[in-house]
Structure formats: C-alpha cells, structure tokens
Amino acid sequence: MKDAKVRLYVDHPLGAGQSVPLDRDQAHYLFGVMRLTVGSSVLLFNGRDGEWRADVASAGKRAGELVCSEMTKPLHMPPDLWLVFAPIKKARTDFIVEKAAEMGAARIVPMQTEFTNSERVRQDRLQAHAVEAAEQCGGTFVPEVSDLQKFDRLLADWPADRRIMFCDEAEVGQATLDLASEGADSAGPWAIFIGPEGGFSDTERARLTSMKGTTTVSLGPRILRADTAAVAAMTLWQKTLGDWA
C-alpha cells in the first residue's frame, strides 16, 4: 500500500476508478509545493463520499488528474450542532472557525449583535479555513460557514426543534450543562451561542433566555475571551451530548 501524506478536499464525486481533475491551485499545491509526481498517492475527501486514496495520473503546472483506488475512511457525520458566534478580530475569528470545524460543528454561523465589533465577514475566506481545518484534522465532513446574520433575524427564523446552549458571561460558576430537566429530546439538534467581546446586550440576553428550549450555562469561574469561550463551550457540549460522550 502506497504511503499518502497529503489530504486534499475536492468538490468532485469520489469512488473506485473515479478520475478527479485538478484545478490550477490544486495542481500548484500538489506538484509545486508538495513535490508529488505521477504515481504518488493522495488522500481525498469531499464531505459526502468518505476518504479515498488516489494516485496521480498526470501532473502539470496548471492542471492534473488523480484516480481513486480505494476507500480509506467512511463518511463520519458530526452531531447536529451549530456554533453561532459574534465575529471578533480577523485572526481570532479565523481561529474560532478552524476549531469549530476540528471539534465537530455541523454548521458555523457568524452573528451580528448589538456589540459585535465586525459588521461584515468574508464568508468565502472563512469557508476556506473550515476546509483547511478538515484537511489537517483527518475529518471527512466540512461544516458550512454561513454569511453574517443579524441576531434578530436569526432568532425570528429559528427552528422550533433546535435547542440553544446560551453561554452567558454573566453566569460565572461551575462549568456544567445540566440536562436533568431537559427531557428525552436533549440529544437532538442544538446550537451554541457565543457573544461578542462586549457580551450580549440586556435585550438580547432576555430574548435568548425567554425562548423555549434555551439552556443557560456558565463556562467556569472566569470570564473567557470569545475565542476561548467557543472552544470551552464546544468541549462541554461534546463531552455531555456529542460524539465525545
């Protein structure tokens, strides 16, 4: 069996004998940066068909072709968990998206609140970060990163069956997700809400806590930065209800 050290996301069907064309950027990465040649092996995934070993059939500066030989991992879907967060500084927003993809979010939703520092995000750039994170961590699924959504509009269209884990910075104490009174459907669709650096406004906090299916949680005895809070909240949820439990 050939040793494949490079993983690559492709937006193309994968299967035994399937040929996969490479665009200019992919060809440059594989043949110019990674120095692969004809006969080298690559691990491919597309978020639908699992992970496949593929061999380089042709290699050029601007294009190339791979041919799938065998499945190496089946598709592993993450729990039905959304991470909803208020964007912060560029590098720290990138960090949140990368860690959410690594830790098993099914969807990542940037949210504009009253105190959000950034009024726009580059959805395409954040989606690329999610792809890169999946390539690095061995995942076979890439979460969708949505465009920036306003808090009020997001909650107005909120799915009735999706529970909310509201991480309230005003709640400082033991980090627990208490499900004793949450009912038998507590492992269904969920979303984690992380506020901006200035926190949620009183109006937003009241709106969240009044919604049916909201569970307010503390993330420990200290107030965390937004990017740290996102990682802490996903860890808490995954350990209690997700595929870490």
Task: Identify the pLDDT of residue 184.
Answer: 44
State the pLDDT at residue 185: 52
pLDDT of residue 151: 97
3-state class percentages of the chain: helix first, strand second, coil last, to nearest 5: 30, 25, 45
pLDDT of residue 188: 82
- d(Cα 45, Cα 71) in Å, to the nearest integer? 10
- pTM of the predicted model, to two decimals? 0.92
Q: Give the H/E segment covering residue 90.
A: helix 90-103
pLDDT at 186: 65
Q: Is 20 exposed, middle or buried (0-12, 13-18, 19+ CB in 10 A)?
A: buried
Query: Smallest Cα–Cα separation from 26: which of 53, 69, 55, 64?
Result: 64
pLDDT per residue, tens digit, the chain (245 aa), is: 467 889 999 999 999 999 999 999 999 999 999 999 999 999 999 999 999 999 999 999 999 999 999 999 999 999 999 999 999 988 999 999 999 999 999 999 999 999 998 778 999 999 999 999 999 999 999 999 999 999 999 999 999 999 999 998 887 766 677 665 455 456 689 999 999 988 999 999 999 999 999 999 989 888 899 999 999 999 999 999 999 87
Enumerate domains of the chain plus CATH numbers. Answer: 7-73 (2.40.240.20), 81-240 (3.40.1280.10)
The per-residue pLDDT for range 31-83, each reduced to its tens digit, is: 999 999 999 999 999 999 999 999 999 999 999 999 999 999 999 999 999 99
* CA distance readout (Å), 107 to 41, 55, 65, 100, 110: 30, 31, 31, 9, 10
Distance, in Å, from the CA atom of 32 to the CA atom of 106, rounded to the nearest integer, reads 33
